[in-house]
Structure 1
Amino acid sequence: MKLVAVTSCPTGIAHTYIAAEKLTKAGLDTGVEVKVETQGSAGTENELTAQEIMEADGVIIAADKGVDKSRFAGKPVYECGTREAIKDPVAIIRLFQDGKVASAGGLKTIEEAKSEQRSRQNPIYRHLMSGVSFMIPFVVIGGLMIAIALAIGGEPTPSGMAIPEGSFWQKIQDIGATGFMFMVPILAAYIAYSIADRPGIAPGMIAGYIAANGSFYNSEAGAGFIGGIVAGFLAGYVALWVKKWKVPRMIQPIMPILVIPIIASLVTASAFIWLLGRPIAAMMGGLTDMLNGMQGGSAILLALILGAMIAFDMGGPFNKVAFLFGASLIGEGNTAIMGAIAAAICTPPLGMGIASLVAKKLYSKEEQEAGKAALAMGLFGITEGAIPFAASDPLRVIPSLIVGAMVASALAMMGGVGDSVPHGGPIVAVVGAIDNIGMFALAIIVGTGITALMVNLLKARRSAKQAREKQASSAAL
């Protein structure tokens, strides 16, 4: 048997490649030839050829965002999220071996099977993450350029650091501002693309630009990232609705390039200009003011919640919602939320890496190797490095990850840590994107230490209990 697969996650960093590795290994274990194409942050790698697709007995699409499936027409296709492929890749391959993909649950056709598989996924989340994956590079460029310009070319003033007018570094700052300007239109465009394919891109981008520009609906402030999300979904579903119209054959060729984009753009733009723009802009303004005004207990509570969300599913929906929340506020001038998240992001892999090194007897050889990889991933802010440990012992590992991340997030918030790029871990301090590096480092160290200490105490307690039970069983014999 031959299978081909595509893996893709919103950020295209960890889940994409971990899922690919797991599927490849599962293929070796089951005697099935599996070739995996990864669609990650570096683009498409190990690309499937037309010949390989033709010869394949089935297709696995393990993705948390939209993937073009047109080239797999006529093939049995199993769709799932990357986490399912990471958790139980052998079970997925067994479905093909048992002939259950095209007729799972008694379904009779491939299309019915695909529909049933898709129903287990959350399409709203998948479309949103598609937009986020394309938006992130623009926010990264914007944040880094501004941070570098301020760090190198900034001069102290009574109101803080400022860049002299007309200087070289002001141009660098302007490049960063341009990156932020594209953030909302790109988010909306690729949400719409995920929903309606290429006909959704132009309406989504136009609607996203209108959402971000309050002058269209007589508002001083734009509708921000929430407006971009609403614009993307509205444009996408309007375009999808128009795509389903029954039109004469002679009109069909111009539908995707003329009719669908024009109608979807007019409908979505009109909705924002005369109905949605001002209310969403007012809501975003209120949310931004509230967050900027948070102090003391309320700010710490928010940090605790965000830290727990980051560590709970290590790159899953809770993690991505918290991450998107922090990243979107960078463009609104609030870097404190991302600062708290940035400290929490790296403590799960760093904590498990250190825990596996200092108490090797509590971990298998495979886990000790995973710990070394987790340390490296933690330094670069990749939370998914803790997944192998959580998968093998969730009852002890996940609570430890959550507690450590919550402490790190709260300490960063209390210490006034700011992060001007949508990423975390020590790497963002190296590139100069962190305000108050000392407190940032302290938050990471304390959170990491708590995770490592807590998980090893819990594992040692379980190990001691198992030893007592074994001893009692031997004595009874």
Structure 2
Amino acid sequence: MSIITTDLVRLDADLGSTTTDVITALAGLVHESGRATSAALLADAALAREAQNPTGVPGRVAIPHCRSAAVTEPTLAFARLSQAVDFGGPDGDADLVFLIAAPEGGGKAHLKILSKLARALVRGDFVDRLRAAETPEDIVAAVSEVVGEGGVGKQPEPQPEQAPATPAGAQVTRIVAVTSCPTGIAHTYMAADALTQTAQGRDDVELVVETQGSSSTKAIDPEIIRNADAVIFATDVGVRDKERFAGKPVIESPVKRAINEPAKMIDEALAAAVNPDARRVAAGPATTESTGQAAQLGWARRIQQAVMTGVSYMIPFVAAGGLLLALGFLVGGYDVANGWQAIALQHSLTNLPGNDVLVDGATVTFDRAGLSLYLGAVLFATGQMAMGFIVAALSGYTAFALAGRPGIAPGFVGGAISVLVGAGFIGGLVTGILAGLVAYWIGNWKVPRVLSSLMPVVIIPLLTSLFVGLVMFLLLGRPLEDLMTGLTEWLSSMSGSSAVVLGIILGLMMCFDLGGPVNKAAYLFATAGLSTGDESSMQIMAAVMAAGMVPPIALSMATIVRQKLFTPAEQENGKSAWLLGLSFISEGAIPFAAADPLRVIPSMMVGGAVTGAVSMGLGVGSRAPHGGVFVLFAIDPWWGFLLAIIAGTVVSAIAVIALKQFWPNKASQAMAAAPVSA
């Protein structure tokens, strides 16, 4: 099936005055041609992509695009507008609009065809041909040629592993570039071609581009990278294998800037290549990851990202360890905590324990005996070992995010010292940041070549670990221990109204950004004390988990009760969001919040606050850090946990329905008004 046909083309048409109007009309063409199961779902996906970053490009052209489960065949819909519409392009409203629709999970061949069209749109002759076309057949012929259908006019794929030839004796600056966008369909390749074409018109530049897109990724030859004088990262997502470019002067920007201002980016790279103070690519992921928002990350932002990285890597230790502890209680009884180490080490499958076990020279009587008690102790012991790594993992991977692999060892060492001196997770945060910054600083030292190979594996870990150890033992260890002790005592003393206030705060945090930094901070606060078995820590854990379950469940309920207030895509998300909520996956609410944050997020926060207050007020405690309703056996009282969730869910559902009813979102309302069967 051809990627474009005459029934997918509209010439000199008035499709409305907004991007929503135009995208919705083009999605309707795709649906009418039998290439999409739902016009509304396709439009929803394209509009969501448009909201991330406008798709207007030079030449008064727009290329809204998306991947959607509603698309059955890779498709292009085209309109030459009689009334130009603002798509955020650099040179005015767009009068040529392509809707690029790719199937979700479509093959590489399909995505390659779509990327070829995007590349052609940076060529003036192709754009002029579209404007001069007299019939839909002319448009189909022009597009078919550039995408290679029928064997006509095939465009060769770039060969980034081959450096361009340089005339003998020429003085040139060698630049390597990486382009990538969230969908990897259009902007990735347009940026690559804009940079390449600009460089080809100059005598002072050699440019090799690596496109990290959906259709193909051809890595630049390592020898070319070694000889490069500067690097350009034109990306809206993280650069894969960033360590390859370590030490090179770098210019970073969102991918659209490379399309709109390729000459300026090349000039900036030329200047960076000869500037000894230019920012350079470091080995750490956080220093080379483009945010798509600014050309450089400030240190405050880097540290924030590093802490989130540390938390993300720590969570598997918490989840695995905490659930194993809960299973240990389930199998061996709650008193297994009184002698798990003695039971696991002194007994075996051929030497099962009785009810009386010798623990530290004293006889302890347990409710259970035999295989149940032994297996419970083994599960509990395994969980304890996993939980013992959480502070070290937090510290180690925070340092890794700042300094790359050289930061891992000193970060883990600092975390272990934090546990030893009683500084807990607060100490782990401090040592992780400290180790990462020191390792990053040492990594930028200029050393003789003979020492360069030893830097990441010996010198940086050694010097950084020594520094962190001395700082913790001589300066920071005791104050951080006092801070951690005071915090623990304060939590233990909380009861009554003060506990309810804490529950409200934790509930608000869990529902503020649904998996973002604030949510993660609340979760870290809860899990940090879980391994102690302290009652107040378990109550905080229960409040955090219950509040985090509310948003997906509430939004799923709301889509069922008042379906017409939600877009078709939200209605589809609502069908599965309840299960994510029951599993304590707050991220199930993100699609709703991204589409309508002003109504969804406050509604969820209100419900989360109610849940946190009820949970803390009833003294609900959880020995498990994750699992939702599937770990009810580790929650006491279980009925209080469920009551807190139900109360918050009802409040959030009512709030979001009321806000959408009495303060409607016009764009969402227009899409939701489309027939559900469309």
Q: Shorter-chain TM-score category?
A: 0.7 to 0.9
Deviation of 1:381 (Å): 1.5
Aligned to 1:52: 218
Aligned to 2:654: 453
Counterpart Cα distance in 1 of 2:394 and 2:299: 24
Counterpart Cα distance in 2 of 1:412 and 1:95: 49
Aligned to 2:358: none
Aligned to 1:296: 496
Describe the superposition over 1:117-143 as per-residue Cα deviations: whole angstroms up to 9, x where unpaired: 423971111111111112111111221
Counterpart Cα distance in 1 of 2:393 and 2:429: 10
Counterpart Cα distance in 2 of 1:54 and 1:337: 50
Counterpart Cα distance in 1 of 2:314 and 2:267: 38
Conserved in 2, the CA contact under 8 Å of 1:127 and 1:191?
yes
Aligned to 2:306: 127
Which residue of 344, 368, 372 corresponds with 2:575?
A: 372
* 1:96-135 paired onto structure 2 within 5 Å: 96-99=258-261, 103=265, 116-119=295-298, 122-135=301-314
Conserved in 2, the CA contact under 8 Å of 1:288 and 1:332?
no
Conserved in 2, the CA contact under 8 Å of 1:61 and 1:78?
no
Which residue of 193, 206, 223 corresponds with 2:423?
A: 223
Deviation of 1:307 (Å): 0.7
Q: What SS does the corresponding residue of 1:320 show, helix, strand or coil? A: helix
Q: 1:102 to 1:27 in 2, by over 3 A?
A: farther
RMSD: 3.9
Task: For 1:128, give the aligned amino acid.
Answer: V
Aligned to 1:212: 419
Deviation of 1:351 (Å): 0.6
Conserved in 1, the CA contact under 8 Å of 2:407 and 2:436?
yes
Which residue of 615, 618, 625 corresponds with 1:422?
A: 625
Which residue of 373, 396, 405 corresponds with 1:189?
A: 396
> 2:243 aligned with 1:70, yes or no?
yes
Q: 1:257 to 1:76 in 2, by over 3 A?
A: closer
Q: What SS does the corresponding residue of 1:421 show, helix, strand or coil? A: coil
Task: For 1:444, give the aligned amino acid.
Answer: I
Describe the superposition over 1:416-458 as per-residue Cα deviations: whole angstroms up to 9, x where unpaired: 22223333632443xx442322111111111111111111122
Counterpart Cα distance in 2 of 1:186 and 1:47: 32
Aligned to 1:475: none
Structure (1 or 2) with the greater helix fraction: 1
| Ranges in structure 2 where 5+ consecutive residues have no aligned partner | 1-47, 54-63, 68-98, 101-113, 119-179, 185-211, 222-231, 273-277, 280-287, 339-364, 668-678
Describe the superposition over 1:48-96 as per-residue Cα deviations: whole angstroms up to 9, x where unpaired: 99953449x9763536xx97522468899867xxxxxxxxxxxx66445
Counterpart Cα distance in 2 of 1:48 and 1:203: 37
Counterpart Cα distance in 2 of 1:272 and 1:162: 43
Q: Which has the higher Rg, Structure 1 or Structure 2?
A: 2
Q: 1:458 to 1:437 in 2, by over 3 A?
A: same
Counterpart Cα distance in 1 of 2:267 and 2:515: 30
* 1:40-439 paired onto structure 2 within 5 Å: 51-54=217-220, 60=235, 62=237, 68-71=241-244, 94-99=256-261, 103=265, 116-119=295-298, 122-154=301-333, 167-214=374-421, 222-333=422-533, 334-423=537-626, 425-429=628-632, 432-439=633-640
Counterpart Cα distance in 1 of 2:480 and 2:571: 49
How many residue pairs were aligned?
415
Aligned to 2:643: 442
Task: For 1:302, give the aligned amino acid.
Answer: L
Deviation of 1:464 (Å): 12
Task: For 1:411, give the aligned amino acid.
Answer: V
Conserved in 2, the CA contact under 8 Å of 1:335 and 1:418?
yes
Counterpart Cα distance in 2 of 1:401 and 1:195: 33
Conserved in 2, the CA contact under 8 Å of 1:150 and 1:163?
no
Q: Which moved more, 1:177-186 or 1:380-389?
A: 380-389
Q: What SS does the corresponding residue of 1:315 show, helix, strand or coil? A: coil
Counterpart Cα distance in 1 of 2:549 and 2:476: 38
Counterpart Cα distance in 1 of 2:216 and 2:454: 28
Task: For 1:146, give the aligned amino acid.
Answer: L
Deviation of 1:395 (Å): 2.5
Q: 1:464 to 1:400 in 2, by over 3 A?
A: closer
Q: 1:249 to 1:107 in 2, by over 3 A?
A: closer
Counterpart Cα distance in 2 of 1:463 and 1:189: 47
Task: For 2:636, give the aligned amino acid.
Answer: D
TM-score (norm 2): 0.55
Deviation of 1:248 (Å): 2.1
Conserved in 1, the CA contact under 8 Å of 2:251 and 2:295?
no
Q: What SS does the corresponding residue of 2:449 show, helix, strand or coil? A: coil
Q: 1:322 to 1:464 in 2, by over 3 A?
A: closer
Describe the superposition over 1:337-376 as per-residue Cα deviations: whole angstroms up to 9, x where unpaired: 1110101101111111110111112122222112223223
* 1:15-34 paired onto structure 2 within 5 Å: 26=65, 29=99, 32=115
| Ranges in structure 1 where 5+ consecutive residues have no aligned partner | 1-17, 39-45, 80-91, 215-221, 467-477
Conserved in 1, the CA contact under 8 Å of 2:308 and 2:517?
no
Conserved in 2, the CA contact under 8 Å of 1:341 and 1:409?
yes
TM-score (norm 1): 0.76
Describe the superposition over 1:18-70 as per-residue Cα deviations: whole angstroms up to 9, x where unpaired: 99xx89x94555554878799xxxxxxx9999953449x9763536xx97522
Deviation of 1:329 (Å): 2.0
